[in-house]
Amino acid sequence: MKLHPEISVTSSRDDDRYRTPSDGSPEIGKRVVSEDDGDDPFEEFDGITTEDATQSVERVEETERLTESLVDANEQLEEAVQTRDMFISVASHELRTPLGAMQLLVELLRREARSSDQGRVPSERILKRLEGIDRQVGRMSKLVDRLLDVSRLSEGRVSLEMGPVDLVGIVETVIERQRDESEDAVISLTNEAGGAVVGRWDADRIDQVVTNLVSNAVKYGGGSPIDVGIADRGECAAFWVRDRGEGIPPGKQERIFERFERGEANHNHSGGLGLGLWIVREIVQAFGGEIDVDSQVGVGSTFHVTLPKE
Amino acid sequence: MSDTWPGVLNQESDLEETVEAVTSRATILVVEDESDLRNTVAEVLQLDGYEVETAGNGREALDILDDGLEPTLILLDVMMPEMDGRAFRRHQLDHPDYADIPVLIFTSSQDADLREFNAVEILRKPIGIDALLDAVESYTGSDPPDWS
């Protein structure tokens, strides 16, 4: 039994399956001849069917492999998508408020400009609007920076520029800056070490940790004084930030370090992404350090950080 | 709705009519914790002729109502410190004198739904001036002053 040349063409070239040699296509005619010119018809017959069978099996196996890897890839994607969705929803939520203020300010300016009979809108009013817009831009930039930071930290892409750093100097700078930002804040510093506390860290990241903790204390401290302390514990440096705010209930104390904690569950505090303490802990851990919180409802909270010096 | 500000245009010639129209419009209580947004919303409403009172959270808003303000409409943010929009709404609905004041929810959340708040409408941030004024106008029943 010999297969019709058309069949052999069909099996080896799917795209030619509806053509026949008689359709005058020189390409097909040529190939049919080449597949047809073996001396032993059985060898060719066997060859064709074996090839067909092997191809089929290979195709099935390949399909299975592909399906498996697709399922795996899909699971990974779903996880990634969930994280991204969470991220996008928190981020867009937080960006809407400054965007809302900005849109109204821009429209106000436009209306006033249109209504203005050649410069009747007082320049102070224009400046006031522009300052408002400026503040919103600042807020949004900070949010975006923080989101990028989280993205990098999540993927372990943070490169630390380690060098000798004096913790005392950084804490003093942060406190000064915080006093400038919120004039009412009363922040006192106790340096138990008496002098510099030097370790090998990334100065910017240490600044970020201290800034986050101090500004949190100001935000949640209810206007009461804030104590910042530094100590030298030999191989480790330690510092702490204490507020006298409303405190954190025991069941919530561990959760406050989790990502999106604020944005997700806490409706009682405004602003922020609920990422600050998560970022702080990620950075502290990147230095091999630890952070924990002592807190009592109605008394206040103290955040302790220890950092290995090397 | 005009997209120019009558308060700026023809300030001198229409001053008397403007004042008369302005004082005839409704009173809105704006409850929003973000001061820039709160102040801007308040200013937009004031420029359109409304009387505006502002509160930084639900607690402050209740205090203002307790002090005797009778707003025609409350514009209410949801996520706020001290007392959020949900808690404010519960207190408001529990109080016979305040329960009937219509509430426009003003939120950045995509999930807030009308039934949950028993509100007249949900406005989502960011919002433009026209949409804000249209919504406020439709629940205060007051026509904008005739600036022409």
Q: Kindly report, residue by residue over B27-47, the tens digit of the pLDDT.
A: 999 999 888 899 999 999 999
Q: Do A32 and A8 meet the contact criterion of CB atoms below 8 Å apart?
A: yes
For residue A173, what are the contacts with CB-CB under 8 A and spacing of at least 6?
A: A207
Enumerate residues 29 to 88 of chain B having a beta carbon within 8 A of any beta carbon in chain A: 33-34, 36-37, 40-41, 43-44, 47, 78-82, 84, 86
Nearest to A211, CA basis, from A173, A247, A239: A173
Nearest to A101 among B4, B34, B86 (CB): B34
Q: What does DSSP assign to residue A160?
A: P
Q: Structural domain tally of chain B?
A: 1
Provide the shortest C-alpha distance from residue A113 to chain B (in Å).
8
Q: Does residue A7 or residue B50 have the better pLDDT?
A: B50
Nearest to B8 among A99, A112, A268 (CB): A112
Q: Answer yes or no: is B3 within a domain.
A: no
Whether A115 sits inside 8 A of B132 (CB atoms) is: no
Map out the domains of chain A as residue ranges. 38-157, 163-308
Cα–Cα distance, B89 to A223 (Å, whole number) = 28
What's the domain range around B98? 22-140
Whether B34 sits inside 8 A of A97 (CB atoms) is: yes
pLDDT score recorded for residue B13: 43
Q: What is the mean pLDDT of residues B2-30?
A: 59
Judging contacts by C-beta atoms under 8 Å, the chain B residues touching residue A269 are 81
pLDDT score recorded for residue A151: 78
Name the fold adopted by A163-308.
Answer: Heat Shock Protein 90 (3.30.565)
- Per-residue tens of pLDDT for chain A, all 310 residues: 444 444 433 344 444 444 444 444 444 434 444 444 555 555 555 556 777 888 888 889 999 999 999 999 998 888 777 767 777 777 777 888 899 999 999 999 988 888 766 556 788 888 999 999 999 999 888 888 878 887 788 777 777 889 999 999 999 999 999 988 887 889 999 999 999 999 999 998 999 999 999 988 988 888 899 999 999 999 999 999 999 988 888 888 878 887 765 533 343 444 456 678 888 998 999 899 999 999 999 899 999 999 999 8
For residue A57, what are the contacts with CB-CB under 8 A and spacing of at least 6?
A: none
Instruction: Give me the percent of chain B exceeding a pLDDT of 90.
Output: 61
Whether B84 sits inside 8 A of A267 (CB atoms) is: yes
CA atoms within 13 A on the CB side of A84: 6
Q: Answer yes or no: is B9 within a domain.
A: no
pLDDT score recorded for residue B24: 57
Give residue B31's identity as a one-letter amino acid code.
Answer: V
CATH top class, domain A38-157: mainly alpha
pLDDT score recorded for residue A104: 95
Q: Do A303 and A291 meet the contact criterion of CB atoms below 8 Å apart?
A: yes
pLDDT score recorded for residue B141: 78
Greatest Cα pair distance, chain B, in angstroms, is: 48
Provide the shortest C-alpha distance from residue B69 to chain A (in Å).
25
For residue A111, what are the contacts with CB-CB under 8 A and spacing of at least 6?
A: B3, B4, B5, B8, B129
CATH number at residue B114: 3.40.50.2300
Cα–Cα distance, A1 to A308 (Å, whole number) = 83
Q: Answer yes or no: is B105 within a domain.
A: yes
Enumerate residues 80 to 109 of chain B having a beta carbon within 8 A of any beta carbon in chain A: 80-82, 84, 86, 108-109
Nearest to B128 among A97, A107, A270 (CB): A107
Q: Do A237 and A260 meet the contact criterion of CB atoms below 8 Å apart?
A: no
How many CB pairs lie under 8 A apart between chains A and B? Answer: 92
Q: Answer yes or no: is B107 within a domain.
A: yes
Q: What is the ipTM of this complex?
A: 0.79
Q: Answer yes or no: is B16 within a domain.
A: no
Nearest to A270 among B33, B124, B132 (CB): B33
Cα–Cα distance, B70 to B83 (Å, whole number) = 20
Whether B81 sits inside 8 A of A268 (CB atoms) is: yes
- C-alpha separations of A40 from A3, A29, A37, A244 in Å: 13, 20, 9, 96
Q: Answer yes or no: is B10 within a domain.
A: no
Q: What does DSSP assign to residue A159?
A: P
Condensed to tens digits (0 to 9), the pLDDT of residues B100-115 reads 999 999 998 877 777 8
Provide the token pair at A253: 């104390």
Q: Do B78 and B84 meet the contact criterion of CB atoms below 8 Å apart?
A: yes
Instruction: Count each helix (H run) and each strand (E run) in chain A, helices first.
Output: 8, 7
pLDDT score recorded for residue A255: 80
3-state class (DSSP) for residue B125: coil
Q: Answer yes or no: is B114 within a domain.
A: yes
Nearest to A201, CA basis, from A305, A288, A304: A288
Q: Cis link prior to B145 (omega < 30° from 0)?
A: no
Segments of chain A assigned E as strands: 163-166, 187-191, 198-201, 226-233, 236-242, 290-296, 300-308
pLDDT score recorded for residue A139: 87
Cα–Cα distance, A206 to A193 (Å, whole number) = 18
Q: What is the mean pLDDT of residues B2-13?
A: 50
Q: Do A295 and A255 meet the contact criterion of CB atoms below 8 Å apart?
A: no
Cβ of A136 under 8 Å from any chain B Cβ? yes
Whether A115 sits inside 8 A of B9 (CB atoms) is: yes
Nearest to A114 among B4, B47, B126 (CB): B4
For residue A298, what are the contacts with CB-CB under 8 A and spacing of at least 6?
A: A246, A247
Cβ of A121 under 8 Å from any chain B Cβ? yes
Question: Which residue has tokens 């406190």?
Answer: A175
Provide the shortest C-alpha distance from residue B66 to chain A (in Å).
22
Provide the token pair at A309: 């010096």
Residue of A nearest to B56 (CA): A270
- C-alpha separations of A111 from A107, B23, B137, B145 in Å: 6, 22, 19, 17
3-state class (DSSP) for residue A270: coil
pLDDT score recorded for residue A85: 77
A38-157 and A163-308 in the same fold: no
Nearest to A132 among B36, B79, B80 (CB): B36
Q: Do A150 and A275 meet the contact criterion of CB atoms below 8 Å apart?
A: yes
Cα–Cα distance, A134 to A140 (Å, whole number) = 10
3-state class (DSSP) for residue B29: strand
